[in-house]
Amino acid sequence: MTSRISIPFSVLDLCPVVEGSTPSETFRNTVDLAQHAERWGYRRYWLAEHHNMPGIASAATSVVIGHVAGATSTIRVGSGGVMLPNHSPLVIAEQFGTLESLYPGRIDLGLGRAPGTDQITARAMRRDVMAAGNNFPQDVMELRRYLGDEERGQAVRAVPGRGLKVPLWILGSSTFGSQLAAQFGLPYAFASHFAPDQMDAAIDLYRRHFQPSDQQPAPHLMLVLNVFAADTDEAAQRLFTSLQQQFLKLRTGTPGLLPAPVSTMDGRWSPMEQAGIDQALRCAVVGSPETVERGIRRFIERYRPDELMLTAMIHDHSARLRSFEIATQVRERLAAL
Q: What is the pLDDT along the chain (337 residues), one digit of tens a residue?
A: 578 999 999 999 999 999 999 999 999 999 999 999 999 999 999 999 999 989 999 999 999 999 999 999 999 999 999 999 999 999 999 999 999 999 999 999 999 998 766 777 777 766 665 666 689 999 999 999 999 998 888 889 999 999 999 999 999 999 999 999 999 999 999 999 999 999 999 999 999 999 999 999 999 999 999 999 999 999 999 999 999 999 999 999 999 999 999 999 999 999 999 999 999 999 999 999 999 999 999 999 999 999 999 999 999 999 999 999 999 999 999 999 7
- Could you give phi then psi for residue 174, rounded to 5 degrees? -150, 180
Q: Tell me which residue of 192, 203, 84 sits closest to 141, measured CA to CA.
A: 84
pLDDT the model gives residue 15? 97
> At 67, is the secondary structure helix, strand, or coil?
helix
Q: Which residues pair with 11 in a beta bridge?
A: 45, 310
Q: Tell me which residue of 14, 13, 8, 72 sits closest to 41, measured CA to CA.
A: 8
CB-based contacts of 316, cutoff 8 Å, min separation 6:
239
Q: Is the peptide bond before 276 cis (omega within 30 degrees of 0)?
A: no
Cα separation, 198 vs 218, in Å, equals: 22
For 144, which DSSP code? H
For 28, which DSSP code? H
> At 104, is the secondary structure helix, strand, or coil?
coil
CB-based contacts of 206, cutoff 8 Å, min separation 6:
178, 179, 181, 182, 188, 219, 221
The residue type of 149 is: D
Q: Is the peptide bond before 160 cis (omega within 30 degrees of 0)?
A: yes
Cα separation, 36 vs 318, in Å, equals: 11
List alpha helices for the chain, DSSP H. 23-40, 61-71, 89-102, 119-124, 129-132, 136-147, 175-184, 199-209, 233-251, 271-280, 289-303, 317-336
Q: CA separation (Å) from 38 to 100, 106, 319, 335?
A: 18, 12, 18, 18
> At 186, is the secondary structure helix, strand, or coil?
coil
Which domains, ranges and CATH numbers included, belong to the chain? 9-336 (3.20.20.30)
Q: Tell me which residue of 102, 109, 59, 56 sits closest to 79, measured CA to CA.
A: 109
CB atoms within 10 A of CB 329: 14
